[in-house]
Amino acid sequence: MGPDPAVATVRVAVRRVLAGLPPGAMVLAACSGGADSLALAGALAFEAPRSGRPAGAVTIDHGLQDGSAGRADALVGVLAGLGLDPAGSIAVTVSGSGGPENAARDARYAALDDAATRLGAAAVLLGHTRDDQAETVLLGLARGSGARSLAGMPPTFRRRAHSGDPGVLYRRPLLEIDRATARRACVAMGLDPWDDPHNDDPAYTRARVRHEALPALEKALGPGIADALARTARMLRDDADALDGLAERAFADLATSEEGCPVALRLEGLEDLPRAVRTRVLRVAAVKAGSPPGTLAAVHVDAMDRLVIAWHGQRHVDLPGRLRVFRRYGRLLFGPA
């Protein structure tokens, strides 16, 4: 008799990801103790030995709730009991701008980067599901951040400390699997998930999307909204990837030098690009000049674009990161404010 269908679904998803990684290389599962990531850890513990590779797990203690250290220690025991080795917890300090959700995410990824680098892991697996993807798309729609934001979470990405850094590879094996299947798999494997109360706290935007916005859409439009949003994300990701590639090549063609400015662009050629490519070139230039991508918004990109195609003598545009963009002698210059 085979495994429970939900367990088989999760295992197959993990198996496919492992098949694309270097043979014999270690893989880490990031596990919060919730049903999604615990099901992922259980599937990895089963599949990794069969693919001839070591597998470990790490949990991040954000220290945001009473008893978090004790829960992290208990989870480490569960992960070790599955056969994941090494299994450990990392305590982080959550601070910084952008709200508590962003600060916690930044601290979490920094700790995972460090653990993966220290252990020489080929990849870190994350437990995000199709429902998480649908929530991310709705959040991006609310922000009005364009196709890249609506493309949701990529199934694969790298985090690099600098341009020459190979970075840490992250994979999301469960991104095509719904949350209910992951929970059924977790229960079928005899694993007792922990439900983070923050996931039900209406003070957090994602919790409101999960418990209010998505159910309201399901009620008004019928079932299948999460699947439709995730499918839309896949299609938009393909479009965004193609446009980003065109923008990178256009930036390389248009970039020039100017003393005192880290980045300069020739206006000739830039103004003739389709807006979808031109605005991406401007964003690439701003980020390369030092503007933090997380705070560079559509309003900033639109203002830069007006310097290119609707210039009437306006002096400059101020960008996040104490950066200023201005037009001079047929070039767009990015320099310190």
Average pLDDT across the chain, whole number: 91
| pLDDT of residue 68 exceeding 90 | no
Q: Is the pLDDT of residue 178 over 90?
A: yes
DSSP string spanning 195-207? --GGGG-TTSHHH
Least confident stretch, 8-22, 107-121, 134-148: 134-148
Per-residue pLDDT, averaged over 242-261, amounts to 92
At 97, is the pLDDT very low, low, confident or very high (cuts 50, 70, 90)? Answer: low
Does a cis peptide bond (omega within 30 degrees of 0) precede residue 86? Answer: yes
* pTM attached to this predicted model: 0.83
Query: Which pLDDT score is estimated for 326?
Result: 92
- What is d(CA 273, CA 253) in angstroms, rounded to the nearest whole number? 12
Domain with CATH 3.40.50.620 in the chain: 5-128+172-202
Per-residue pLDDT, averaged over 197-217, amounts to: 87
Between the ranges 56-60, 222-226, 314-318, where is the mean pLDDT highest? Answer: 56-60
Question: Architecture of 245-336 per CATH?
Answer: 2-Layer Sandwich (3.30)
Structure tokens that stand for 215 in this block: 């159910």
User: Above pLDDT 70, what percent of the chain?
Assistant: 97
Topology annotation, domain 5-128+172-202 = Rossmann fold (3.40.50)
Position 96 scores a pLDDT of 67
Assess whether pLDDT exceeds 80 at residue 144: no
Task: Determine the Cα–Cα distance for residues 129 and 109; give it in Å rounded to an integer.
Answer: 18
DSSP letter assigned to residue 258: E
**pLDDT band per the 50, 70, 90 thresholds, residue 73:** very high
Closest of 92, 86, 56, 87 to residue 73, by C-alpha: 87
**Mean pLDDT for the stretch of residues 10-24:** 95
Helical residues (DSSP H) of 91-166, grouped into ranges: 99-119, 130-143, 147-150
